[in-house]
Amino acid sequence: MKRAFTILMALVLVLCSMSFASAEGEKVKLTGLFIAHPLTKSVYDMKWLMEIEEAAGVEIEWEEIYTDWNQIKTTRFAAGDIPDILINATGDSDYSTYDGLFAELTDAIAEYCPNITTMFEEEPDTLALSKTYEGKIYATPKFQGKWPDCNGVMFINKVWLDNLGLEAPKTLSELKNVLIAFRDNDANGNGDPKDEVPMDFNGWFGGAYSLTNMIGSWGIQLVNWGSDAYFAEDGTIKNYAVDERYKAMMAYLADLYAEHLINENAITNDYSMFQSLSRGDANGNALVGVVLGWEETDKFGPVLYDQYIPVGPFTDDIDDLATSEPRWTYDFSGLNMSSNRVAVSAKCANLPAAMKFIDKFYDPEVSVQVLFGSISEGNVSKVGDNHYKVEDPPAEANTDNGTWKWTSTFADNGPMYIRRATQIDMAKDMAFALAEREQYKEAIARVDMDKEYYPQFLMKYTVEDQNTLATKQAAITNVTDSWWGIWLTGEAEIEDTWEDYVADVKAAGLVDVLAIRQAADDAWKAQ
């Protein structure tokens, strides 16, 4: 008996010794999946990532998928075929659809993740974003608090204005008059009076570069692109697709279209065509007068970008619904936060090691590199304590700042917490983006955060409500998408068809959807 006890103790000591050796020397081996942007280089070539693996004492065998993940993942998840760590790979519905596949992270975050805990404390919306309806956390979010207050900027060609002796429009009537002048007077000065496109757009309900951004001229406050036309007013969730003010906007836009002031191909053009037209012709002539976009160098390219300035919002001076305080979409939370950046398999053999590694992404200095690229590779320079400079790409790279970012690192797809207090000297593209949005500061300052702030992506629903919303929204969208283009192009008169259209939208389930959304918004505010 004594000999057996001695042997048992010896085995315990050996096992303890092995565990200690692993903790002190050998790296913990994990597997990881990253769903990458098509431009992004291999994770194995990202020095910042290899550096945080080293710092966390882990060695990760990475799988990278660049296309068709939404088609692939159903089979993978159904089979339980997932690695330890999944980055940019999951959605809210996955955790209920594949119950038991993913680890619940609340306790692990509290124990192993000081950076994520700090983010939850300093930016409470990130905690709300992370939780399911039941209050569980299956994935960590991101917060990149340096992006601007709005996504879409409406640009106007200042050279065209100067060529024609015009001022930038400030009202809806003035906008129409400027567009007419662009149409009729060879505004780009190339001798061809018919190649100018006075106004262009892309997408519709919720599109960042759609003319639905103009609904603010009728006093409706959009938040985060106003997806599917939902907004809040006086604390009540509404849908502007059945609002009289939307009817007024469509009548205005239909009038512009009838006057050949809106690109007749905008309805069918994809995003690449939309971008290409804004970059002018082969001779360097601008072709578009007014258009929405993210940033001038991105939208108009290196030749034409300095011809354009921001414009709007426009005061409504044509309708009985007029407001003297036009609005502009407020997109700060949508641009700076995203859910489901990192999830973990419920079968992960070493959850503490995985969580300590994940927490490294949320370190102040690492977060800057997740978004912009490695300090050690020259994408970013450290200027001082909590102060960084985003560098321009080298000449031999033959690329712009935005493309270089997406090529070099996880960029906006990554997990991160960039603190508001972190100072970042931005590269030219983001410096322009921030400066351009000064145009909308006054309008955005009108947002009533208690009664008009409706960040849809923070709302949480039961599985039953999720299914109801998905089914009924599809039916609603089928109606709304069938009509806006018909009205815009004049195939039907909005005045003659409006009441039947509204009845059809409501019959498709709008009343039920609004009730579910209202309850979710009330519950979120109560937190």
Mean pLDDT of the chain: 93
Which CATH superfamily is 15-147+334-426 part of? Periplasmic binding protein-like II (3.40.190.10)
- Work out the pLDDT band at 16, boundaries 50, 70, 90: very low
| pLDDT mean over 307-327 | 89
Q: What is the pLDDT at residue 396?
A: 87
Question: Beta partners for 137?
Answer: 131
228-240 pLDDT, tens digit per residue, is 999 999 999 999 9
In this prediction the pTM is 0.88
> Using an 8 Å Cβ cutoff, are 240 and 249 in contact?
no
Structure tokens at 439: 């145009």
Nearest CA among 107, 102, 389 for reference residue 116: 107
Per-residue 3-state assignment (H helix, E strand, C coil) for 389-427: EECCCCHHHCCCHHHHHHHHCCHHHCCCEECCCCEEECC
| Of 22, 91, 99, residue with least CA distance to 352 | 22
Sheet of 288-293, strands arranged across: 197-200, 288-293, 153-157, 308-310
Please count the other Cβ atoms lying within 10 Å of the Cβ belonging to residue 41.
13
Whether the predicted pLDDT of 117 surpasses 70? yes
Cα gap 325→7, rounded to integer Å: 84
Give the mean pLDDT of 141-147.
Answer: 96
For the chain, give the percent of residues with pLDDT over 70.
95
Query: What distance in Å separates the CA atoms of residue 366 and residue 190, rounded to the nearest whole number?
Result: 50
Please say whether the beta carbons of 103 and 138 come within 8 A: yes
Rg over CA atoms, the chain: 26
Tell me the three state secondary structure of residue 332.
helix
One fold for 15-147+334-426 and 153-329+453-526: yes
pLDDT value of position 335: 95
What one-letter code names the amino acid at 353?
A
Domain boundaries, the chain: 15-147+334-426, 153-329+453-526
Structure-block tokens of residue 331:
């997109």
Tens-digit pLDDT profile for residues 255-281: 999 999 999 999 999 999 999 999 999
Q: Which fold has domain 153-329+453-526?
A: D-Maltodextrin-Binding Protein; domain 2 (3.40.190)
